[in-house]
Structure 1
Amino acid sequence: MYQFFVDDAQIGREFVTITGEDVNHIKNVLRMKAGEKIRISNQQGRDYYCEISEVTDTFVQADILNEDAASTELPSKIYLFQGIPKGDRMETVIEKAVELGVYEIIPVAMKYCVVKLDAKKEAAKVARWQKQAEAAAKQSKRSIIPKIHPVMSYKEAVEYAMQCDVRLVPYENERGMQGTREALSTIKSGTSVSVMIGPEGGFAEDEITQVKDSMQVISLGKRILRTDTAGIAVMSMLMLELEME
């Protein structure tokens, strides 16, 4: 069943009206017809099972069959702070983290980041990353589209992460998984969690020093993970810990 996102203004008492780019996708790419079922979310956690009743060049109308479609969101909000990687690895992080239930992704400019984005490139990149998050949210039947923030400095990222209830920093020089297990076991439904992931070059020592008294520095095992693997590994651990049904 295909997934689509709409604004609240497009949701009526008995039907939903889909407009914009999704109309062309439904009509000309998916070639969907009246009678086919789709899933629609309002980007704020409300979900609907619907049946297409009309397909035109400018809109698609779908009758609401069930307003209580089961939410696909994790019971806690996970904020992934990702040191900007080179090449297309950020796209991999976004796609997989969205599939695993991330709430927001914050690109972070750290000391050892290989990539340095100027303002013009940054705006284009963030817009592209947000589109990718939307595509991944549709594919994985999310109830929301996770937000991709503009790039933050490390200082800005730490200040933002401090608003979360639990703050995790996977660090390649940390040893022992017992601390990781203990940290994960404290995370309960409704708890907000920040995860700070270093770039290809790893965290600078002063970056770890800045957070070691206010965040939980944890290990991800004996092997050194690539930056695009580390965030996905933590998201998988959190999904296992939080998703009880």
Structure 2
Amino acid sequence: MQRYLVPPSCFVGDTAVLRGEDAHHIARVMRMVPGDRVEVGDGSGTVWTAVIESVGAGEVHLSLEDSLEEDGEARLELVLLQGLPKHDKMDLIVQKATELGVARVIPVAAARSVVRYQEDQEIRRLQRWRRIAKEAAEQAKRSRIPEIVQPVSAAEAWRWAAQADVALIFDESRRGRPLATALAGHPGVGRIFFAVGPEGGWDPGEVDDATSLGVEPVHLGPRILRTETAGIAAAAAILYHYGEWGR
């Protein structure tokens, strides 16, 4: 059943009204008609089955039925600090991180990040990443849309990470412990931040600054992964370690 995650303002009592791209998708892409059923959620954890009551010009009216017992969210809060990569690699990173269950993606303007956005470009990019996260969350049957925040500096990123139960920075020079060894020392956690550098990795000074605030350097082994691969691999490994695969 097709799932749509929409703002809470779309809900009134036991009804919901979908507009914009969601309404277009129902009417023009899926070609649904009154009587068809969908799943609709508020993006913050609650999802209902719903019956389409009407399909109009730019609006689809739904009647809510039963709320669903959801298990599409990870039991731990996983936050990716991603050094800004070139081109459209961030699109892929946001999409796959969302599918895996990451709760938040924080783009980091690192020393070795080649890309630098002007303010208007940054707004458009952020809107695009949030749209990608929404679509990926719906496809993956998640009940929450990950938060995609505005790009921050490396110094600000480390201050965010210092608030976590576990904070890790992946260092391709293989300083620090293997990921599996580091995680073994934290059998029960609620929030994990993990930082993946851009092309070329983190600058050594950035790693030093992070470790001075309690962020632990780790590595994924002898192979050097591309930035768009490393975050996905790390997220999958962390979720597997804490029992999120097959639970």
TM-score normalised to the size of structure 1? 0.91
Asked if structure 1 preserves the Cα contact closer than 8 Å seen for 2:161 and 2:215, the reply is: no
The letter for the 1-side match of 2:34 is A
Q: Deviations over 1:2-42 (max 9, x none)?
A: 11122334334433332333112111121012232211111
> Is the partner of 2:38 in helix, strand or coil?
strand
How has the CA–CA distance of structure 1 residues 52 and 241 changed in structure 2, closer, same or farther, with 3 Å as cutoff? farther
User: 1:234 Cα deviation (Å)?
Assistant: 0.9
> Is the partner of 2:172 in helix, strand or coil?
coil
In terms of mean alpha carbon deviation, does 68-77 or 192-201 score higher?
Answer: 68-77
- How far, CA to CA, are the matches of 1:114 and 1:15 in structure 2? 47
Aligned: 1:157 with 2:157: yes
- How far, CA to CA, are the matches of 2:70 and 2:7 in structure 1? 19
RMSD: 1.9
User: 1:175 Cα deviation (Å)?
Assistant: 6.1
> Is the partner of 1:22 in helix, strand or coil?
helix
TM-score normalised to the size of structure 2? 0.90
Partner of 1:216: 216
Asked if structure 1 preserves the Cα contact closer than 8 Å seen for 2:106 and 2:148, the reply is: yes
> Is the partner of 1:127 in helix, strand or coil?
helix
Partner of 2:170: 170
Alignment of 1:76-225 (within 5 A): 76-174=76-174, 179-185=178-184, 186=186, 188=188, 191-213=190-212, 214-225=214-225
Q: Deviations over 1:91-120 (max 9, x none)?
A: 110110011011111111111112122222
Asked if structure 2 preserves the Cα contact closer than 8 Å seen for 1:114 and 1:201, the reply is: no
Asked if structure 2 preserves the Cα contact closer than 8 Å seen for 1:47 and 1:71, the reply is: no
Asked if structure 1 preserves the Cα contact closer than 8 Å seen for 2:52 and 2:60, the reply is: yes
> Is the partner of 2:159 in helix, strand or coil?
helix
- How far, CA to CA, are the matches of 1:217 and 1:3 in structure 2? 39
Alignment of 1:24-63 (within 5 A): 24-63=24-63
Matched length: 243
Structure 1 stretches (4+) deviating beyond 6 angstroms?
Answer: none
- How far, CA to CA, are the matches of 2:221 and 2:19 in structure 1? 47
Q: Deviations over 1:31-77 (max 9, x none)?
A: 01223221111111111122323222243233333213323111111
How has the CA–CA distance of structure 1 residues 232 and 64 changed in structure 2, closer, same or farther, with 3 Å as cutoff? same
User: 1:216 Cα deviation (Å)?
Assistant: 1.7
- How far, CA to CA, are the matches of 1:88 and 1:155 in structure 2? 24
Gaps of 5+ in 1: none
How has the CA–CA distance of structure 1 residues 138 and 204 changed in structure 2, closer, same or farther, with 3 Å as cutoff? same
How has the CA–CA distance of structure 1 residues 22 and 237 changed in structure 2, closer, same or farther, with 3 Å as cutoff? same
Q: Deviations over 1:103-138 (max 9, x none)?
A: 111111111112122222222211211111112112
Asked if structure 2 preserves the Cα contact closer than 8 Å seen for 1:170 and 1:196, the reply is: yes
User: 1:176 Cα deviation (Å)?
Assistant: 8.1
User: 1:237 Cα deviation (Å)?
Assistant: 1.1
Gaps of 5+ in 2: none
- How far, CA to CA, are the matches of 1:20 and 1:87 in structure 2? 28
User: 1:187 Cα deviation (Å)?
Assistant: 5.2
Partner of 1:3: 3
Alignment of 1:226-245 (within 5 A): 226-242=226-242, 243=244, 245=247
